Amino acid sequence: MAANIGPKRLVVGAHYGLRDWLAQRVTAVVMAAYVIVFGLYAIFALPAGYDAWAGLFAPLWMKVATLVAIVALIYHVWVGMREIFMDYVKPTWIRLFAYVLTILWLAACAVWSVQILWRV
């Protein structure tokens, strides 16, 4: 769908970054909810020691909730780092290289976090 905004600008399928803009905010809300609930619980209610800590991540729902927060984190970081590279790294091939490194790095972190969570 193409719509004219103003006399000169033709808005077409690229959405001018709307999808990333929205994803940045949705993932932020997911992470904020996780960090605040988890943080308050871990600081004020969780008994000290390995058993309580590992026990917290034992149920499937906690693994899933944590992984959802981590996936949100990774998408959020991708949008943010891409923004930083777009603003400060002007030569195209260096920027492309930075994008690829970031994607590989974040993918590796995601796989690692799955391994950590599902070993408990």
**Between 25 and 96, whose beta carbon lies closer to other proteins?**
25
Binders of other proteins among residues 86 to 115 (CB under 8 A) are 105-106, 109, 112-113
Tell me if 53 contacts other proteins by CB under 8 A: yes
Cβ 66 vs Cβ 57: under 8 Å: yes
Tell me if 28 contacts other proteins by CB under 8 A: yes
Q: Where are the beta strands (DSSP E) in 57-109?
A: none
Q: Which helix (H) or strand (E) holds 9?
A: strand 9-11
| Among 5, 6, 92, 119, interactor with other proteins by CB under 8 A | 119
